[in-house]
Amino acid sequence: LITVQVVYAIGALVIMMLFLTSALEVWHLFLFTLVGGVSYTFDFSTRHATAADIVKRHHVVAAISLLFAAQGSTTILGPLLGGSLLEVIGASGCFALIAASFCLSFLSLLPMKIEPPPRPAVRESMWQNLVAGFRYLRKDRSLSALILIAALVNFLIFPYWFTLIPVFARDILHTDVVGYGQLMAAIGLGNTIGPLLIAILPDSIHRGRMLVTVTIVWPVMLMLFAFSRLFSLSLLLLVMTGLNQGMCMALIQSMLMMWSTEEMRGRVSGARAFAIGTLPLGNLLTGAGAGIWGAPAMLLVNSAAAVIIAIIIIVWASTLLRK
């Protein structure tokens, strides 16, 4: 975790220096994004596995959910302040703030003392650990279904956030940068409330059934959003979208950690991060489709496909409904 924060900070500082010296080129941003994406894979898997290890088992769901809520809260202020900060301090200043935030994260991690797990007699490579994680998942349909749902939502649903919302803001809702920030903040609001609801729910709640519900309601909200031409209605629908999104993400990760053995948590979380790898391809295909058929049509296609495939996964792993 500490190493990843250092990598993040160095990357932001490099981009800042390139911008200040007028040497920044498009390929620099592609490289920065690539390094950041690879680093995020390690960050995601390590952060959630560590959170599950340092709390008691009956607190795992709350701990994971609070992590997602904290991440969601940054997507409220970030979009609202981003445009204003860009005008006041410029792009270089924004990257300096990004680097400073990762330095603070680095410093906050230094006091943490975590008892390392007992090392196996034979050290395995990263690839062997990943393969072992998938073999472990294959033995349990419920765990496999969680990974499949994670891959599904990253491939078909999440591209709305990264690819389509800017198009909706400009071409469909005819708003400016401020309006775009408000749309993103609406998602962030729901994305913060959702995990908090999961954190406070009693243990008697069937989390598997709840996951099934929010996995289907999430794309349904996006279908309704695709038809909206009113800015206020779009904001409301995006809050509901973010709510189901946050609940879905928190439920997937917390159930993976709860249902896995302690020695397999890191590997399972790594497999979960591997599922995030479908997002870039989803963004690419969604963007290409939106360029041909338009953003609303592409959002409808993605959302409808997500509902159908989610139902197929749920039927295949019906044990989810009993958990």
Convert the pLDDT of each residue in 91-127 to its tens digit: 788 888 888 888 888 888 777 766 655 555 456 666 6
Convert the pLDDT of each residue in 237-256 to its tens digit: 999 999 999 999 999 988 98
Q: Is there a domain that residue 56 lies in?
A: yes
Which residue type occupies 257? M
Q: Is there a domain that residue 118 lies in?
A: no
Is pLDDT larger for residue 129 or for residue 152?
A: 152
* Structural domains in the chain (count): 1
Q: Is there a domain that residue 208 lies in?
A: yes
Residue 111, phi then psi, degrees to nearest 5: -70, -10
Is pLDDT larger for residue 79 or for residue 198?
A: 198
Contacts made by residues 132-140, CB under 8 angstroms, sequence distance 24+: 132/264, 132/267, 133/264, 133/267, 133/268, 133/270, 133/271, 134/271, 136/260, 136/264, 136/267, 136/268, 137/268, 137/271, 140/259
- Which of 1-10, 80-89, 273-282, 310-319 bottoms out in mean pLDDT, i.e. has the lowest? 80-89
pLDDT value of residue 266: 74
pLDDT value of residue 119: 54
Q: Which CA distances in Å does 105 have to 101, 154, 274? A: 6, 26, 24
Overall average pLDDT of the 211-227 stretch: 97
Q: Is there a domain that residue 154 lies in?
A: yes
Q: Is there a domain that residue 150 lies in?
A: yes
CATH number at residue 229: 1.20.1250.20
Q: Is there a domain that residue 300 lies in?
A: yes
Q: Which CA distances in Å does 170 have to 154, 164, 179? A: 24, 10, 9
Q: Is there a domain that residue 278 lies in?
A: yes
Q: Is there a domain that residue 41 lies in?
A: yes
Residue ranges making up the domain that contains 183? 2-110+133-322
Convert the pLDDT of each residue in 285-305 to its tens digit: 999 999 999 999 999 999 999
